[in-house]
Structures are given as C-alpha cells and as structure tokens.
C-alpha cells in the first residue's frame, strides 16, 4: 500500500524488535490518550449564582455596538439616564426627572449619591463626557444616529445637565435609554482600552471576568442605588445552539435561557422543572414591496397579495400562538402611535384572485421573497408558508435566503428585489419605526408626500396629542397604500427554571436580573 | 532533514498569501462592515470616519496592499467587533481549539487503531463484523445529530456530564467524543486494511512458523509496519478535524477558533478572519510536517529530502 510494506523486511533488522525511536513514538501516541485536566471552574458553593444561557454574545464589552445582545450585557454593569422596563415603559434611572426647556433643549436632573463601582461619584461631568463621546463621529458609536439631533451638552450644576438639540426633539429621553453612562474619570485615568476590557459603571452587577464567546462572570453590586440584587453572582454563558440551551435548562445548569425555539415550547411546559416566559416585542415583521416597478407599482396588486396570506393560520401553526398578527399597520399594539381603529385585512384568496385579474396581472411573474435565516423567529418557515399561500392564488413565488452581510449590502443599495422580509422595532415609540418609510431613513422605495410631512411634524413637537394624531394618520396611509404586508408582532421567549423567582420576559430582550432570586 | 523542513516551510507564506488574497476580496465584495457594525440609523459623518479608518475609501487592491504592509510590520489590524487588535483575539481562542482537537484526535487514534486491529485479527468473524458495522454507522451519522443525542443522554437524562461550555475534564468528554466520531470510523477502516495487508506478508508467516505468539506478532511486528499509512492518513484528517470542529464548537458552546471565524465572517470583520486564516493554515502545515517527520522516524527507509 505504501513504502512501508514495499519490501520484505531483512531478517534480524529493526522490525524484529521495535527500535528506541519507534518505541517512543508508540509511547507518545499513548500519552495523547491521557487527556489533560484543566483547573476546575469557579467554586461558588455557599453563595447563590444565577446562570443565564444567552443565544448570542457581542465579541467584546465595548459600548456602542448597536445590537440588543450587546446592550443586554452592558446594562448589567451600567445604567442609562432613562431606563426602559420589561413592558417597554420609560422610567427614571440615573436621571430622576427631565423636562424640555424651550423648543430645542432638554434638562435632566440627575440622581444624587450614585457611585461607580470604583467608589467615585456619578455626576453631570460623566453625562456630558458620555454624550459628547457618542456624538463624536470618530467613536463609531452604533446608536449615535438615534440622537444625531443633539448639538451639545452643558453642565448647569453637578447634578443638572442641559442637552441642546437641532430643532425640537421629543423622543430624546427615550432615545438615550440604550446608552450606558460611563465614567469620565475612568476613561481619563485608564483609557478607552481599559473601559472596554473591564467595564466600570453604576449598574446592579460588577464586572468579574469575560471570556469572549464563552462566559461573562459578574458579582452583585451590594451598594446599588436601586437596591442590591437578590443573587450573589451572575454567570451569563453564550450557548449558540438552541437545542443545547434547552438541554442546559432541563439539566438545571442554567436558570434562564434566551431565544427559546418555538418547537420546544410544549416540551418545556411538560417538563415540570421549567416554564416558558413570553411577552410581545415591539418588532413588527413585514414583507416590503418594491413599488418602483411593475407589478408592485399597482396598489391593488399589493392589496391582493396581502389578502392572499392567512396570517392567523401562520401565527397558530408556525409561531404556536406566540406574538400577535399586526393590525394592518407597522406598529405593535403596545406602541405609542398604534391606531386601534385599523384592522388587518382578512384572509380572502377569492378576492385576491379577482383583484389580480382586474389589474391584468401576469401570473407567470416570478416573485422572490428575500429573507435572512435565523434573524427573526421562524423567519424562513414564515416565508415558505407565505410562498405556499401565494401559490394557492396562482402566483409564482419562491423564497430567496440571503446571508446577513449580503442582505444588508443589497438593502442599503435598495436592491432587495420585488419583496423582502424585515422586522422593524419601535422600542415603544412610533418615531423609531416610522422613519424607515421616509426619505430620512434612506432605505425606502415607497415615498408619500403626506406621510413625509406628518413624520416631520410629529418629530418636531413635544405635544403628545398631536404626535399621536399624526402617527394614527400615518398608520392609515400605510394600511391603504400597503407598501408592506404587515405580518406579525414577534414574541420574546425565555425558558425559566422553577428554581428562580422574579424574572420577567422583556419586550426589548434586555436582561433585567436585579430582582431575580434563586431558591 | 533540516533542508527538507526548510524547503517545506519556504512555500508556506506563498500559499497563505493566496488564501489571504482570496478571502480579502470575497469578504470585501460581499458585504460592508459599516452596514453591519453601525446601526442603520448611522450618520453620514460616522460612515465617512469609519470608512477612512478601515481604508474602505480606497480600491480593494490598495486596501489589500495596505493590509499586507501592516502584516509585514507584525500588525494584523484592529477588529471592529473586539475594539482591539485582531491577532490577540484569535490567539486567545487557540487554546480551546487545540485542547478540543488534541482530545478528539487522541480518542479517534486510540479507539480507531484498537478497533482496526481487532477487526484485522478477527477478520470476517463477529468482532470484525460488529466493529465495521459500527464504524460505517458512525460515519453516516452527522456530528450535529450525534452531539445533541449525547447531550440528551449524558447531560439531561443521566446528568453525568455538563451540557456545554469549557471548563474541567468533564466538559471536554462530550465535544471530544463528538468530534472524534467524525474521523474515528476512517481510522478503524484504514487500520484494518493496513494491518491485513501486512499480515499477508511472508515475514509474518515466517514469524508464525518460528513459533512467535499471536500477540507478539501483531503488536511487535505487524502493527509497527502497518503504522505508516495510518500516520499519513492522520495528516489528512487534521484539516478535516479543524473544519469539523466548527459544528462541534457551536453545539457545545466551545469557545474555539471555528466559531470565532464564522462569527467574524458574518460580521465581515476582515482583520480577525485573516488572522484566523493565518493561524489555522500554519497549524495545518505544521501538523502535516510533524506527520512527515514521524513517518521517517517510524520507518528509517523514508528519507526526507
């Protein structure tokens, strides 16, 4: 077979007795078989530890990565000025109160007596430092666009800051909710590198150890201004595979697991050791048309496709009843600006066919539904179901799955093809989601003059009643013109061990663990 | 021999350069790190600043030239996701991957060789039939499925081992077994074939005629002569193991290089991907070189040079 057997071995040569080298080779192979032991994990015996299995981790703990998974980890050690609750309400955090002072400024009154984990005081200096750093383009701060109207920050006294804006900016207090307040002193003393490696904030937990792609270990901040956490230690582990996360929950290794897959809900419920915690998110999943060219330049054709989808059936069978069917509009029910008068179009394949025939639609036109895989709950399954339902009214639909980077590249170039699926989060305020249908959002292929005008008006007033009226009208325009088919408000699903209490599913998927106790 | 090693190593930078160039062009043309890293709300000033920092405002060949210039100075670039230098981010994950690979290889080699020897010794009898059947069954079992199955049995039902993560020896058992199963059947089959071939050689018959015991013959004479094809095969399998480790690392949340690279590809974090490519290529080259050296040690007739 190879050279080793090519010749008969000469009598009395080395093959009769293994040579020293050969022996040591065999010994080496045997040595490989003895696996090497590693130092055991941290022994946290007497203290209580809460273990969370997270689906995704950011690569580092630097601030400014604009994903909720990053924000979720950062908010363990940091606090924002204004905090969001699990339900999506906005409540005082490091700012005790705030009010607009004139048409283009907000004043924030800071909480007194708050200390960073190094014992130094949290003051207006830190707020100014943090906000200035965010709006500096060189920082590449992911969320900076949310407060791009901010023009400057002034310290009025150690516990009062004024934030000046270009024009009226009603949503500023909500827009800063995902921005952790950092210590000016720490940056000046130890630098940005230290702040990234060893986050130092005012939050409920104190940084312990971080291993990228593996684990984040924290300890309770007993001096936390909002009351000490009920566990001594917190361990957040990244477990990317959903089936493994479920196994970690059922075996008792983890007490909370994120992003529970829909297909195991019944198994968890039947297990007795764990339960499902779920809440609607503010993410509206939609199928967006390209109305710049035929056939979807015709609103009747867009309406027909909307009528052809049995959304209730998909919600029941694929999403297992979790989440909600959107009310024929972009915003989820709990969001400010949602118009309860609008209803989703009923499933009516007969009417859909009629509309298409009236519009002289060519049924051979290929419709590729473009989506990412694994970005949203059951995304590809939903697209497949939709394509099947389109097929039932005679449409020629297929599903085109794109990798995330390619998807974003085409999306930014406005080349998504006739129909694509995307989820828009509103974080509880219409402004964050409605911007994507305006020229200001830079991605829309559908433009409407009245909608643009209403959006600008609502963005530039502090009058809530007027804003609500404007958003209501914008929802009606979206419903009538159907630039997108509004599918589902997505759920946020967690698996929770019966050994813990005090955990609530979060609509924004940020872990809030201060009140969680381990029995 | 030194001459041989030097000559082998001489071509390494060339092949790595080709791989780097290809990876660079694909990553740059299929996605933009700015779109991925910054929120869709990002301001034009932010995009411009980041573009300049990553040299995205230059044509791709110029970007690659800048990259190579920096690499020659020992600078593999800054990772956007890690907010720091790329190479330490990769090297930080190397230990976990090496640990998993070494354990899996050890399991695959020991069990594979033992199984193969047993098959050859009891050729066409019950042990051969059982082991060969198991090997073929294992070969057709996807690691993904096997991993989940092992977790279900040993972590959820029996609670003997942890489900996932890296830690003490217990954490290593399931992922190493899963990864080993990916290559183990091949080791069984190649050992069996190689042993059978040597067992048919005249010197074995002579040994038997001289009255040597079966055990002495098999372990002292046949096995050392059958070892080289197994070792050559090992060299090939190292590359396959590295590829297979990505799935295993994902199922068992093992913080290794495979998962790091996949994540960095999705983020178009070019410095990390390329630093990873360099590390993995070097590892595979060195592993193969080590195998070649082992071959010549085991069989002095093999002259490297």
- Point out the residue among B30, B163, B198 whose CB comes nearest to the CB of A248: B163
Q: Hey, are the CB atoms on B35 and A196 less than 8 Å from each other?
A: no
- Residue contacts between A and B (CB atoms, under 8 Å): 240
Angle between helices B86-121 and B270-298 (to 10 degrees): 40
Percentage of chain B surpassing pLDDT 90? 49
- pLDDT tens digits, one per residue of B35-56: 888 877 788 888 898 898 889 9
User: CB-side exposure of A339: number of CA atoms within 13 Å?
Assistant: 20
Q: Hey, are the CB atoms on B37 and A193 less than 8 Å from each other?
A: no
Dihedral sign (CA B294, B298, B300, B303): negative
HEC letters along B211-275: CCCHHHHHHHHHHHHHHHHHHHHHHHHHHHHHHHHHHHHHHCCCCCHHHHHHHHHHCCCHHHHHH
Q: Hey, are the CB atoms on B155 and A412 less than 8 Å from each other?
A: no
Decide: B128 and B118 in contact? Cβ < 8 Å: yes
Residues of B in contact with A247 (CB under 8 A): 148, 151-152, 155-156, 163-164
Nearest CA in chain B to A11: B203
Q: How much is the pLDDT for A409?
A: 87
Kindly report the nearest CA distance between residue B31 and chain A, in angstroms.
5
User: ∠ at Cα A445 (A439, A451), nearest 5°?
Assistant: 50
Specify the pairing of strand A500-501 against strand A517-518.
antiparallel
Decide: B196 and B120 in contact? Cβ < 8 Å: yes
Q: Which of A311, A256, A318 is nearest to A286 (CA)?
A: A311
Q: Is A289 helix (H, G, I), strand (E, B) or coil?
A: strand
B157: which residues sit within 8 A by CB, 6+ positions away?
Answer: none
CA distance A392 to B195: 61
pTM (predicted TM-score): 0.86
Q: Is A423 helix (H, G, I), strand (E, B) or coil?
A: strand
Length of chain A: 519
Q: Does A21 touch chain B (CB under 8 A)?
A: yes
A193-206 burial, b for 16+ CB within 10 Å, e for fewer? eebbbbbbbbbbbb
Q: Hey, are the CB atoms on A145 and B172 less than 8 Å from each other?
A: no
- pLDDT tens digits, one per residue of B213-271: 888 889 888 999 999 899 999 888 888 888 889 999 999 999 999 999 998 998 889 99
Q: Does A157 touch chain B (CB under 8 A)?
A: no
Q: Does A215 touch chain B (CB under 8 A)?
A: yes
> What is the rounded (10 degree) CA torsion for B181, B186, B192, B193?
180
Fill in the DSSP letter of residue A346: P
For B15, the token pair is: 């092949």
Residues of A in contact with B226 (CB under 8 A): 4-5
Decide: B148 and B142 in contact? Cβ < 8 Å: no
- pLDDT tens digits, one per residue of B131-178: 999 988 888 888 889 999 999 999 999 999 999 999 899 999 999 999
Widest distance between CA atoms in chain A: 103
Q: How much is the pLDDT for B305?
A: 58
Specify which residues B79 forms β-bridges with: B84
Q: Hey, are the CB atoms on B49 and A59 less than 8 Å from each other?
A: no
CA B156 to chain centre: 28
Q: Is A190 helix (H, G, I), strand (E, B) or coil?
A: helix
For A81, the token pair is: 């000025």
Residues of A in contact with B191 (CB under 8 A): none
Residues of A in contact with B290 (CB under 8 A): none
Nearest CA in chain A to B256: A213
Q: How much is the pLDDT for A519?
A: 86
HEC letters along chain B: CHHHHHHHHHCHHHHHHHHHHHHHHHHHHHCCHHHHHCCCCCCHHHHHHHHHHCCCCCCHHHHHHHHHHHHHCCCCCEECCCCEEHHHHHHHHHHHHHHHHHHHHHHHHHHHHHHHHHHHHCCCCHHHHHHHHHHHHHHCCCHHHHHHHHHHHHHHHCCCCCCCCCCCHHHHHHHHHHHHHHHHHHHHHHHHHHHHHHHCCHHHHHHHHCCCCHHHHHHHHHHHHHHHHHHHHHHHHHHHHHHHHHHHHHHCCCCCHHHHHHHHHHCCCHHHHHHHHHHHHHHHHHHHHHHHHHHHHHCCCCCCC
Q: Does A502 touch chain B (CB under 8 A)?
A: no
A458: which residues sit within 8 A by CB, 6+ positions away?
Answer: A170, A430, A431, A466, A467, A470, A471, A474
Q: Hey, are the CB atoms on A59 and B203 less than 8 Å from each other?
A: no
Q: How much is the pLDDT for A168?
A: 93
Q: How much is the pLDDT for A6?
A: 34
Specify the pairing of strand A256-257 against strand A49-54.
parallel
Q: Which of B267, B263, B261 is nearest to B35 (CA)?
A: B267
CA distance B81 to B70: 19
Alpha carbon distances (Å) from A397 to A183, A329, A366, A385, A422: 54, 23, 6, 11, 17
CA distance A266 to A494: 13
What would you report as the CA-atom Rg of chain B, rounded to the nearest whole angstrom? Answer: 24
Cis peptide upstream of residue A454 (ω within 30 degrees of 0): no
Using left for φ > 0, alpha for ψ between -120 and 50, and beta otherwise, residue B4 falls in: alpha
Decide: B120 and B201 in contact? Cβ < 8 Å: no
Nearest CA in chain B to A35: B103
Decide: A492 and A282 in contact? Cβ < 8 Å: no
> What is the rounded (10 degree) CA torsion for A432, A436, A442, A443?
140
Q: How much is the pLDDT for B304?
A: 67
User: CB-side exposure of A294: number of CA atoms within 13 Å?
Assistant: 7
The CATH class for the domain spanning B99-268 reads mainly alpha
> 């160039």: which residue's tokens?
B21
Give the helix/strand (H/E) hosting A95.
strand A95-100
Q: Which of A479, A133, A158 is nearest to A150 (CA)?
A: A133
Q: Does A146 touch chain B (CB under 8 A)?
A: yes
Q: Hey, are the CB atoms on A3 and B229 less than 8 Å from each other?
A: no
Nearest CA in chain A to B193: A1
A71: which residues sit within 8 A by CB, 6+ positions away?
Answer: A178, A510
3-state helix, strand, coil in chain A (%, to 5): 35, 25, 45
- Point out the residue among A2, A14, A408 whose CB comes nearest to the CB of B228: A2
Decide: A199 and A186 in contact? Cβ < 8 Å: no
Residues of A in contact with B49 (CB under 8 A): 137-138, 140
Q: Hey, are the CB atoms on A145 and B39 less than 8 Å from each other?
A: yes
Decide: B255 and B245 in contact? Cβ < 8 Å: no
Q: Does A403 touch chain B (CB under 8 A)?
A: yes
Q: Hey, are the CB atoms on A138 and B252 less than 8 Å from each other?
A: no
Could you list the mean pLDDT of each consecutive 10-residue stretch along chain A, which spans 519 residues? 35 37 43 40 68 92 88 96 94 97 95 96 97 92 89 96 94 95 96 92 97 94 96 96 95 95 90 93 95 94 97 95 95 94 96 95 95 92 97 96 90 92 92 92 92 94 94 97 96 95 94 95
Q: Hey, are the CB atoms on A145 and B302 less than 8 Å from each other?
A: no
CA B94 to chain centre: 12
- Point out the residue among A16, A140, A213 whose CB comes nearest to the CB of B46: A140
- For chain B, give every domain's residue range: 99-268
Q: What are phi and psi of A306, to 5 degrees?
A: -65, -45
Q: Which of B256, B246, B279, B272 is nearest to B36 (CA)?
A: B272
Kindly report the nearest CA distance between residue B46 and chain A, in angstroms.
4
Residues of B in contact with A9 (CB under 8 A): 203, 225
């Amino acid at each position: 077979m190879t050279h080793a057997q090519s010749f008969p071995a000469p009598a009395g040569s080395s093959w009769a007795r293994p040579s020293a080298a050969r022996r040591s080779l065999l010994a080496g192979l045997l040595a490989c078989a003895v696996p090497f032991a590693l130092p055991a994990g941290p022994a946290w015996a007497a203290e209580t530890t809460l273990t969370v299995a997270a689906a995704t981790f950011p690569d580092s703990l630097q601030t400014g990565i604009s994903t909720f998974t990053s924000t979720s980890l950062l908010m363990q050690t940091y606090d924002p000025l204004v905090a969001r609750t699990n339900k999506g309400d906005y409540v005082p955090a490091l700012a005790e109160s705030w009010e607009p002072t004139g048409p283009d400024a907000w004043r924030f009154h800071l909480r007194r007596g708050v200390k960073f984990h190094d014992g130094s005081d949290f003051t207006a200096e830190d707020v100014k430092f943090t906000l200035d750093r965010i709006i500096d383009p060189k920082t590449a701060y992911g969320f900076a666009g949310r407060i791009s109207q901010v023009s400057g920050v002034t310290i009025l006294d150690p516990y009062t800051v004024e934030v000046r804006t270009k024009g009226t900016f009603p949503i500023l207090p909500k827009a800063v909710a995902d921005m952790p307040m950092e210590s000016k002193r720490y940056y000046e003393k130890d630098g940005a590198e230290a702040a990234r490696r060893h986050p130092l904030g005012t939050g409920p937990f104190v940084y312990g150890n971080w291993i990228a792609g593996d684990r984040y270990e924290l300890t309770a901040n007993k001096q936390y201004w909002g009351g000490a956490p009920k566990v001594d230690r917190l361990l957040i582990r990244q477990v990317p595979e959903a089936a493994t996360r479920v196994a970690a929950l059922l075996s008792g290794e983890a007490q909370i697991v994120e992003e529970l897959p829909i297909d195991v809900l019944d198994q968890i419920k039947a297990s007795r050791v764990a339960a499902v915690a779920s809440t609607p998110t503010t993410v509206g999943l939609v199928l967006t048309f390209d109305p710049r060219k035929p056939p979807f330049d015709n609103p009747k054709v867009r309406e027909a496709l909307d009528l052809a989808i049995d959304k209730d059936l998909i919600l029941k069978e694929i999403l297992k009843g979790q989440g909600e069917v959107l009310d024929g509009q972009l915003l989820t029910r709990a969001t400010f600006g949602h118009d309860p008068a609008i209803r989703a179009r009923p499933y009516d394949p007969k009417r859909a066919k009629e509309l298409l025939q009236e519009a002289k639609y060519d049924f051979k036109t290929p419709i590729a539904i473009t989506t990412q895989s694994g970005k949203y709950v059951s995304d590809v399954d939903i697209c497949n179901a939709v394509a099947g339902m389109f097929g039932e009214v005679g449409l020629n639909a297929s599903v085109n799955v794109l990798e995330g980077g390619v998807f974003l590249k085409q999306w930014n170039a406005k080349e998504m093809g006739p129909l694509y699926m995307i989820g828009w989060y509103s974080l509880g305020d219409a402004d964050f989601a409605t911007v994507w249908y305006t020229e200001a959002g830079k991605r829309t292929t559908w433009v409407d003059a009245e909608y643009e005008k209403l959006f600008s008006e609502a963005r530039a007033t502090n009058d809530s009643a007027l804003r609500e009226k404007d958003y209501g009208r914008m929802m009606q325009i979206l419903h009538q013109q159907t630039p997108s088919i509004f599918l589902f408000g997505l759920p946020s699903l967690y698996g929770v061990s019966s050994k813990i209490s005090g955990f609530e599913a979060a609509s924004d998927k940020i872990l809030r663990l201060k009140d969680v106790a381990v029995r | 021999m030194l001459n041989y090693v030097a000559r082998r190593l001489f071509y390494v930078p060339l092949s790595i350069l080709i791989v780097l160039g290809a990876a660079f062009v694909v990553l740059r043309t299929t996605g933009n790190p700015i779109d991925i890293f910054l929120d869709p709300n990002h301001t034009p000033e932010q995009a411009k600043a980041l573009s300049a920092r990553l040299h995205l405002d230059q044509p791709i060949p110029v970007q690659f030239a800048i990259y190579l210039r920096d690499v020659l100075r020992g600078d593999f670039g800054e990772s956007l996701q890690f907010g720091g230098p790329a190479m330490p981010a990769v090297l930080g994950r190397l230990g976990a991957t090496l640990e998993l690979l070494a354990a899996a290889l050890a399991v695959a080699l020991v069990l594979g060789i033992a199984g193969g020897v047993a098959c050859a010794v009891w050729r066409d009898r019950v042990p051969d039939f059982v082991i060969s059947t198991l090997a073929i069954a294992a070969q057709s079992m996807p690691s993904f499925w096997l991993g989940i199955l092992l977790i279900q049995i040993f972590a959820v039902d029996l609670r003997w081992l942890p489900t996932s993560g890296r830690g003490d020896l217990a954490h290593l058992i399931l992922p190493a077994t899963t990864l080993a199963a990916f290559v183990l059947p091949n080791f069984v089959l190649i050992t069996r074939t190689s042993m059978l071939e040597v067992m048919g050689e005249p010197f074995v018959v002579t040994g038997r005629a001289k009255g040597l015991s079966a055990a002495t013959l098999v372990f002292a004479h046949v096995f050392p002569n059958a070892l080289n094809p197994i070792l050559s095969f090992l060299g090939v399998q190292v590359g396959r193991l590295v590829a297979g480790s990505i799935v295993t690392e994902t199922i068992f949340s093992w913080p290794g290089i495979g998962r790091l690279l996949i994540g960095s590809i999705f983020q178009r974090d070019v410095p990390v991907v390329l630093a990873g490519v360099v590390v993995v290529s070097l590892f595979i080259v060195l592993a193969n070189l080590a195998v070649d050296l082992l071959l010549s040690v085991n069989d002095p007739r093999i002259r490297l040079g």
